[in-house]
Amino acid sequence: MKIEILGTGCPKCKQLYENTKSAVEQAGVEAEIVKVEDISKITDYAVMMTPAVVVDGVVKSSGKVLSPEEIKAFLQ
């Protein structure tokens, strides 16, 4: 599983990255977590608001910081 955190490095983006790491650990799944800060790559996903979560190429959320519990729902 590949999880991408889209964002330019703002505090919300960093928090979402940490929440995602926590969710992966709690769910006990294997996942590669990647920060994507390149604006052109972010716009390739048609994301207008960051931070965003992309799981295996599918945008699951944008514009808000999800809790670890909300992220775990995508990982099941």
**Four-way CATH pick for 2-75: 3.40.30.10, 3.40.50.720, 1.10.10.10, 3.10.20.70:** 3.40.30.10
State the pTM of this model: 0.92
| Three-state secondary-structure class, residue 12 | helix
Task: Determine the Cα–Cα distance for residues 10 and 29; give it in Å rounded to an integer.
Answer: 27
Task: Determine the Cα–Cα distance for residues 65 and 17; give it in Å rounded to an integer.
Answer: 9
Q: Give 75's pLDDT tier (boundaries 50, 70, 90).
A: confident
Catalytic positions are 10, 13
pLDDT in tens, 5-63: 999 889 999 999 999 999 999 999 999 999 999 999 999 999 989 999 999 999 999 99
Domains in the chain: boundaries: 2-75
Res 76 pLDDT > 80: no
Res 65 pLDDT > 80: yes
Residue with tokens 């995508």: 74
